Amino acid sequence: MSSVWRNVTSAILFLVSLIILVEYVWVDATLQRLTTDFNNWAVVIGAFTLGLGGYSIIVRHWRMIVKRRTLWPYSVVLLVTLFTFIATGLITGSVTSPQYNWIYSAIVMPISSTLYGMNAFFIASASYRAFRARSWEAAVLLVAAIFLMLKNAPIGGVISPILPSIGTIIWDIAGATGMRAILIGIGIGTLALGLRVIIGQEKTPLGGAD
Amino acid sequence: MSWKELLSRNYKQVIYLCLFVSLAIPLMRPIGLPVPVDKTTQDVYDRIQALQPGDVAVLGSNIGAAIYAEVYPQYIAILEHLLRKPDVKILLVDHGTEGPIFTQKALKEVNAFTRKTYGEDFVHLGFIAGGEAAVAGLSRDIKALLDVDYEGNNLEDLPMMDDVNGANDFTIVIDFTASADSQFWLNQAYAPYGTEVAFGLTAVKVPDAYAYYTAGQIFGIIESLKGAAQYEVLIGRPGIAVKGMDAQSLAHLLYIGLIFLGNVLFFTQRGRRG
């Protein structure tokens, strides 16, 4: 990207960000209208990127098939699936049609749910193989995990009402406090990144650091 | 081959089989374990129970096939509860591409189209691309963002939308997701407009949301299948989530047993090695 073009985009970025920031604290009809427009443009761009993503997938996987790269048959499956969905949507004229819904409910949903559900089996195997009290820290983590599991399933309360209570204490004190610290850290980081973007110090939104 | 050899060589298969049995049996023959209600779920129930005629409840959804088992039962339970509230308006919006399929499925499952009038009592806006920008657009000015609903009806022709045009008109928002997009509603509806927000989440997302709950920024959380089961109990409509809790209980017991067994073997072997 040329330096002139980068300066122009930096200036646009700065101006738009400034308008949105000012509008947040200062009520003005013109600023509100401008901000609403900017926001709606972002939604349109978001919708456009979905199409761009689709195009990118088609090109990438078509190249994999043509060049017979490793695992290329999976690319064939992907493209056939993609075009089946597109064709069904176009032919039936709607994504609410029974045909479109049938493909989704009979194929995509069972496969996707199965893949997600397989985690339960991997966790079971991992809990036997990997979750070992090799150190004091690991032992603390292990005991906390057991109490939280007993808190999260009714069986804990059936065994003893104390078990979920201990889990709740761990959850409320250690869990929430730790997570809040992480979230505050993320918040500060986001603020710093936002400021860098606004003042043009962050090159990524302008097309990389080159 | 002895049992010991069999177990040491094929332990994975044995573990998988044990898990399969512990999940399948309670689903086929429920044990009927009690389902105690957490405060996070109770708070959502109480808030919906307190809704008045004319109030607007927004249900945001990013439900997809992957999280269907955990989050969809929550969505059904909440939707059912809202439909029972007289004259409460329901606005349905999806910010995940698969969302509309599940929203339509849910509306049919709870017979929304026969119990209420579409356009007067509830409206489905469909999927809106753009992530946080979409939520910001909905919160600022719906009609500036959208002309039509999911079915292509003009928003100007839907009587419910006469009085609903942004977060200032939303009484509550409940967002169902497994990703960080639940926070979009906090950023775009709660922070600028003070709209009350709650989440329906998968188990892995609950720790993030819990920090907001204890800080009072969200009024409740439906926590994974457990929360859905609790909500089903609260509204007196036990369904798939309540059934699933028995299976989950046994699976958790199995995990604890496996952790215990793994550690016993670990320390025994370490003791032998000196």
B127 interaction partners in chain A (CB closer than 8 Å) = none
Interface test mutation site (partner B, options A33, A128, A150, A162, max chain B beta carbons within 10 A): A128
Is a pLDDT exceeding 70 seen at residue A8? yes
Model confidence band, residue A209 (pLDDT cutoffs 50, 70, 90): low
Are the C-beta atoms of B92 and B127 separated by less than 8 Å? no
How does pLDDT run across A192-202, given as a tens digit for each residue? 998 888 888 88
- Residue B166 falls in which region: left (phi positive, over 0), alpha (psi -120 to 50) or beta: left
B36 interaction partners in chain A (CB closer than 8 Å) = 154, 157, 164
How does pLDDT run across A136-160, given as a tens digit for each residue? 999 999 999 899 888 888 888 888 8
Write out chain B's pLDDT in tens, 274 residues: 666 666 667 788 888 999 999 999 988 888 888 888 999 999 999 999 999 999 999 999 999 888 888 899 999 999 999 999 999 999 999 988 889 989 999 999 999 999 999 999 999 999 998 888 999 999 999 999 999 999 889 999 999 999 999 999 999 999 999 887 888 999 999 999 999 999 999 988 888 898 899 889 999 999 999 999 999 999 999 888 888 888 888 898 899 999 888 888 888 888 877 6
Instruction: For B247, name the nearest residue in chain A, comparing CA atoms only.
Output: A153
| Tokens of residue A31, six digits | 């600023």
Nearest C-alpha neighbor of B15 from the set B244, B262, B248, B247 = B262
| H helix runs in chain B, sequence order | 3-9, 11-28, 39-49, 68-84, 99-109, 112-115, 132-140, 142-145, 182-185, 191-193, 206-214, 224-234, 240-273
ipTM of the complex: 0.82
Q: What is the 3-state secondary structure (H, E, C) of B207-270?
A: HHHHHHHHCCCCCCEEEHHHHHHHHHHHCCCCCHHHHHHHHHHHHHHHHHHHHHHHHHHHHHHH
How does pLDDT run across A84-95, given as a tens digit for each residue? 988 998 898 777
Give the distance from residue A76's alpha carbon to the nearest chain B alpha carbon, in angstroms.
22
B130 interaction partners in chain A (CB closer than 8 Å) = 42-47
Give the distance from residue A177's alpha carbon to the nearest chain B alpha carbon, in angstroms.
7
Sign of CA dihedral B106, B111, B114, B116: negative
Q: Do B100 and A116 touch (CB under 8 A)?
A: no
